[in-house]
Structure 1
Amino acid sequence: MWGSVGRVCLSWACTLLHYLALSLLIAFLVYCAYVHYIHVKYEHIPGPPRDSFLFGHTASIEKATKNYGVVHDLFLRWAEEYGPVYKINFLHHVMLYTSSPEAVKEFLMSPKYPKDPHAYNRLFYIFRKRFMGRGLITDPDHEHWYKQRRIMDTAFSSTYLRQMIGVFNEKAENLMEQLASKADGKQHVSLHGVINRVTLDVITKVAFGMELGLSEGNESDFPNAISLALKGMVTYMQNPFMQYMPQHRKFVREVEESAEMLRNTGRECIEQRKRAKRNGEELPVDILTKILEGAEHSDGLDDEIMLDNFVTFFVAGQETTANQISFTVMELTRQPEITQRLRAEIDEVIGLKRDLSYDDITNLTYMTQVLKESLRLYPPAPGTSRYIKEDTVIDGIRIPGGVPVMLNTYVMGRMEKFFPDPLKFDPERFNPSAPKPYYCYFPFVLGPRSCLGQGFSQLEARVVLSKLLQRYEFELVPGQSYEIMDTGTMRPRDGVVCTLRPRQAS
């Protein structure tokens, strides 16, 4: 009897497996048919041949990003080969890339094109931990973003930046003192590393009233946490399923712990500040206070959104500025004439002053040109994306709606048709009398969603670079390269390791 029952059960199991396999096969074939439909729908748009039917251009992109390679060089090559509009595929997704200035103008200057929700929603979490959430960078909902931006604007006004010049001076001066003991022409100093510590000191003090003392030599877990979070962000964007793979368990756990540390620190700051405000205590004049005051006069921001922006400021407000300064220093090591001209301007405008005023910094015209040229060649944040909901036309090519478009300042900044001899470092491109680049240069994006902190970032960069050039001569250690590493932001691959000497009186 039991043998008969067993045979019946086995028969039913085999039948069930048969139907399950058949169902999966039918589902797979239907999905493949849909992928083919997407291919046909966008087939008229130029683009490189797909590596595979299902996975599209994934293999080419993975090869370009191996060992933190710069995938944007691949996008540049494709732009030069396939023209101002081309497509890439992954599964049923299509993404457009454009290097058309008119398209940049249209998509960035108009609020009707939101950020690509598919891409930016992925930054809500890193693996299983909330990361940037719905902060200013990642929020694809224009109305919700605009509410946040109104609250944040006063915290980054030029009036407030004038008040903060003292903090920039203090932290940069701490760095100069730290470098004094190493400026013997022999010791190797990773300038990217020490500049990173200064920019983190500045953003924590100016934004949240925190004193880390990194530029004075104190140790902290924050630099490593930010670095891990950025690496995690990139790997999660490329492969969100790695969190389920045993071989990546240790890395995933470390990334999640870093994200949690940043948010817990932010939560503690916000709670302390709110408690101090309720108790009528005198509040520090910093960005967090400004945000809380602004939120009172609006409909407010919930604490999780404030934490999203806390993480955003920590990562974007520190990492990108440090990378820009480091790239500039790296380039100056092979540009003696530009360095000499910069020092001459610093001598004329600042002299031997230690406390630089806001007016001093804004009068450094040539330094502004140098920093802009550095951003052209080495933009820490190379691009952004927008979502095209409805059918449109780009450079004469019909674009069916429902597709994201990538706009890449790294790619356009290195194209001959926009910047002659594009790999030459030439600050005269940004001379005030030179023609302004026409929608082909946007390191801080353009339009309503341009970077809120660009004034903050450029003021800080000028203070740090001024003091470094005023005080020291630097030379790249032999064996260092000028290559770029892409870790979510663009940074110098070898860390700009230099030897330093006190600057000789001219």
Structure 2
Amino acid sequence: MAFFYQFVLWAGYSLLCLLILSLIGFLCYCVYIKHIHMKYDHIPGPPRDSFLLGHSPILQRPTLHFTNVHDIFLEWAEIYGPVCRINSLHYVILLVTCPETTKEILMSAEYPKSKVMYGRLSSLFGTRFLGNGLVTSQNHEQWYRQRRIMDPAFRSLYLQGLMGNFNERAERLMEKLTELADSKTEAKMLHLFNHVTLDVITKVAFGMDLNMLQSPDSPFPKAIQICLKGLVIYTRDTFFQLCPKNRPFIKEVREACDFLRATGAKWISDRRAAIHNGEDVPKDILTQIIKTASKEEDKNEYDEELMLDNFVTFFIAGETTANQLAFCIMELGRHPDILAKVKKEVDSVIGMKQEISYDDLGSMTYLSQILKETLRMYPPAPSTSRDVAKHMVIDGIHIPGGVICKFDTYITGRMEKFFKDPLMFDPDRFHPDAPKPYYCYYPFLLGPRSCLGQKFSQMEAKVVMAKLLQRFDFTLVPGQSFCIMDMGTLRPKSSVVCMIKHRSPN
């Protein structure tokens, strides 16, 4: 019995010590938070919702319904100026809309991608997602090596050789649209574009013919959507994992990540084996990458996991192109004058021919303007962030080192001081003779970390749009929303539902 009382006394004493230490730790953390506030509160910013959580509660609210958090950032940028302070726990994030600072930081390799922001994209709920691939890698040497390996697969000469694949996959979409037009069935354009862009990336990058337009039950689109939902929640809701009712969704996200990576591992392994055995293999992006990587002096560094990281990144890139195309259709449906003008250009450049050439793409300048204006108003990947370790001055405000600078092209693209009537869809902003936007328009980022696949993406978008405009008329189904959803990438909430008709001969 004495032993029992001694044990109870010891357990009570240990618990009391633990509580005291926890309280001391919490008080120390509160003191540190206060120190951070005193260090950075001279920078303009909205009132904090919470001493500890800062602005996190207001930024978590859109997460529940996947609404567009960037509209909140836009409002703050308009109110508080070119540099706006955002607090989240002990982190300070500066929303920067100053073009000179945008140029200074994004055009330099001196400022790494934010460990806090991009580290959250590396894995979802403990399962590896984008890992340390091209998008998320913070180590410059590791990133540069990956970029060097992948560059040959995205050079203009190589991409020109992909025009046949772009045309073939776009033709499959035209066949699907023909079915819908003949049956007078509504077309969910975002859904169709998602399938065709995935078809393109799986064929052009990995030599796989999945034909997702005719395979509505394909697991790939669903897996990608689940991962993107998980990404939004994981990066913005700190306490989501603590709630037991969320465990089924977390399990679903983990399984989706595992599915994408397992599929990639099999495709990569099969291709490596085929190359090793001297078999004929497709001259696609995967072959280019494997052969280029094999020539590297340190062949082990570009390991299987890094290649899988970029495999998943390709799929997410296909999602962004689909979103751009859907937004483009949405705006053309709302602006019949612009639609008529671009159809006239398409008719004059490609006429009735089925195969679009690389030179044809360069001749469709007004279509290029439309795609650029779409990216101004609806950039699918709207923001990036950099760690700034040293002191600097932004718009006359002294910024102590140790902050995260966030740059958001959705915000700058919708600010009156950069674009007149910013909410008006006007492709003439990007006329060849119009003044170029000065570091306030960067849908594919800027500088050394700009998007490797931007030329690939816009070639694909142009081929798809040109064929669609050449053959079909479309009208938006009344009553649908034109709101924006934030699903990790910005996308139309309505799926852009259209009625499709065959174009009448002129």
Where does structure 2 lack aligned partners over 5 or more consecutive residues?
A: none
Alignment partners' CA distance in 2, 1:63 and 1:46: 22
Query: How far off its partner does 1:361 sit?
Result: 1.3
Structure 1 letter corresponding to 2:34: H
What aligned pairs does 1:196-207 form with structure 2 within 5 A after superposition? Answer: 196-207=194-205
The one-letter code matched in structure 1 to 2:326 is S
Partner of 1:309: 310
3-state SS of paired residue (2:86): strand
- What's 1:156 paired with? 154
Return the offset for 1:218: 5.6
1:245, CA displacement in angstroms? 3.2
Deviation per CA, 1:327-378, whole angstroms, max 9, x where unpaired?
A: 0001111111100000000000000111111111121000000000000000
Shift of 1:502: 0.6
Q: Find the residue that maps to 1:88 and give its secondary structure.
A: strand
Following TM superposition, by how much is the alpha carbon of 1:241 offset from its aligned partner in structure 2, in angstroms? 4.9
1:434 maps to what in 2? Answer: 434
* Partner SS, residue 248 of structure 1: helix
Q: Which residue of 1 aligns with 2:406?
A: 406
Q: Partners of 1:110 and 1:478 in 2: how far apart?
A: 47
Distance between the aligned counterparts of 2:119 and 2:163, measured in 1?
35
Mapped partners of 1:60, 1:172: distance in 2: 42
What do you get for the CA RMSD once the two structures are aligned?
Answer: 1.3
Match of 2:207 in 1: 209
Q: Which residue in 2 is equivalent to 1:394?
A: 394
How many residue pairs match? The answer is 503
In the alignment, what sits opposite 1:166?
164
Partner of 1:16, secondary structure, is helix
| Conserved? CA contact 1:50–1:57, under 8 Å | yes
CA distance in 2, matches of 1:137, 1:464: 26
| Matched-pair contact (CA < 8 Å) for 1:153–1:452 | yes
Say whether 1:86 aligns with 2:65.
no
Amino acid across the alignment from 2:204: V
Specify which of 107, 110, 113 is matched with residue 108 of structure 2: 110
3-state SS, counterpart of residue 475 of structure 1: strand
**Residue aligned with 1:183, SS:** helix
Q: Structure 1 residue 143: deviation in Å?
A: 1.2
* Cα separation, 1, equivalents of 2:350 and 2:270: 39
**Matching residue of 1:351:** 351
CA distance in 2, matches of 1:17, 1:270: 53
1:43: which partner in 2?
41
Q: Which shifted more, 8-17 or 113-122? A: 8-17
Could you tell me whether the CA contact under 8 Å between 1:70 and 1:486 is conserved in 2? Answer: yes
Instruction: Tell me the amino acid that sits aligned with residue 210 of structure 1.
Output: M
Q: Does 2:482 correspond to 1:482?
A: yes
Return the letter of the residue paired with 2:291: E
1:179-236 alpha-carbon deviations (Å, 9 max, x no partner): 1121158421101101110000000000000110113446411010111111111111
TM alignment of 1:231-242, pairs within 5 A: 231-239=229-237, 241-242=239-240
Superposed counterparts of 1:215-230, under 5 Å:
215-217=213-215, 219-230=217-228
Determine the structure 2 residue equivalent to 1:13.
11
The one of 238, 261, 273 aligned to 2:259: 261
Three-state SS of the structure 2 residue aligned to 1:86 is strand
Partner of 1:147: 145
1:277 matched to 2:272? no
SS in structure 2 at match of 1:333: helix
Q: Distance in 2 between matches of 1:445 and 1:185?
A: 42
1-structure distance, mates of 2:241, 2:51 = 26
Question: Residues 12 and 149 from structure 1, CA distance in 2 versus in 1: closer, same or farther, beyond 3 angstroms?
Answer: same
- Distance in 1, matches of 2:239 and 2:481, equals 34
Contact in 2 for aligned 1:95/1:406 (Cα 8 Å):
yes
Query: Deviation of residue 63 (structure 1)?
Result: 2.4
Distance 2:217 2:246 in 1: 28
Pair 1:500-2:493 in alignment: no
Write the distance in 2 (CA, Å) between the matches of 1:304 and 1:344: 48
DSSP-derived class of the 1:501 partner: strand
Indicate which of 165, 181, 184 corresponds to 1:183.
181
Give the Cα–Cα distance (whole angstroms) in 2 for the partners of residues 67 and 27 of structure 1: 35
With over 3 angstroms needed to count, the CA separation of the structure-2 counterparts of 1:66 and 1:251, relative to structure 1, is: closer
The whole-number CA distance in structure 2 between the counterparts of 1:9 and 1:253 is 40
**Distance across 2 between alignment mates of 1:11 and 1:277:** 69
Q: Shift of residue 244 of structure 1?
A: 4.7
Query: Which residue number corresponds to residue 468 of structure 2?
Result: 468
Between the aligned partners of 2:260 and 2:183, the Cα distance in structure 1 is: 37
Which secondary structure state, in structure 1, belongs to the residue aligned with residue 161 of structure 2? Answer: helix
| CA deviations over 1:24-48 (Å, ceiling 9, x no partner) | 1111111100010011110111100
Q: In the aligned structure 2, how far is the partner of 1:266 from the partner of 1:325?
A: 26
**2:40/2:400 contact within 8 Å kept:** yes
SS at match of 1:500: strand
Closer, same or farther: CA 288–240 of 1 in aligned 2, 3 Å:
farther
Identity %: 54
- Distance in 1 (CA, whole Å) between partners of 2:239 and 2:64 is 18
Which amino acid in structure 2 is aligned with residue 467 of structure 1? Answer: K
* In structure 2, distance between residues paired with 1:262 and 1:185: 35
Measure the CA separation in 1 of the matches of 2:204 and 2:13: 68
Q: How far is the alpha carbon of 1:129 from its aligned partner?
A: 1.3
CA displacement at 1:17 relative to structure 2: 2.4
**How far off its partner does 1:242 sit?**
3.2
Distance in 2 (CA, whole Å) between partners of 1:9 and 1:296 is 63
- Partner Cα distance (1:244, 1:167) in 2: 46
> Is the 1:178–1:217 contact (alpha carbons within 8 Å) kept by the matching residues of 2?
no
CA distance in 2, matches of 1:9, 1:323: 63
After TM superposition, the score normalised by the length of structure 2 is: 0.97
Q: Is the 8 A contact 1:127 1:240 kept in 2?
A: no
CA contact (8 A) 2:63 2:233 kept: no
Residues in 1 aligned to 2:216 and 2:484: alpha-carbon distance in whole angstroms? 28
Q: Is the 8 A contact 2:63 2:232 kept in 1?
A: no
* Matched-pair contact (CA < 8 Å) for 1:115–1:387: yes
C-alpha distance in 1 between matches for 2:8 and 2:34: 38
- Output the CA distance in 2 between the equivalents of 1:65 and 1:420: 31
Q: Which residue of 1 aligns with 2:371?
A: 371
The question of whether the paired residues in 2 share the 8 Å contact of 1:168 and 1:202 is answered with: yes
- Partner Cα distance (1:355, 1:279) in 2: 35
User: What TM-score do you get using the length of structure 1 for normalisation?
Assistant: 0.97
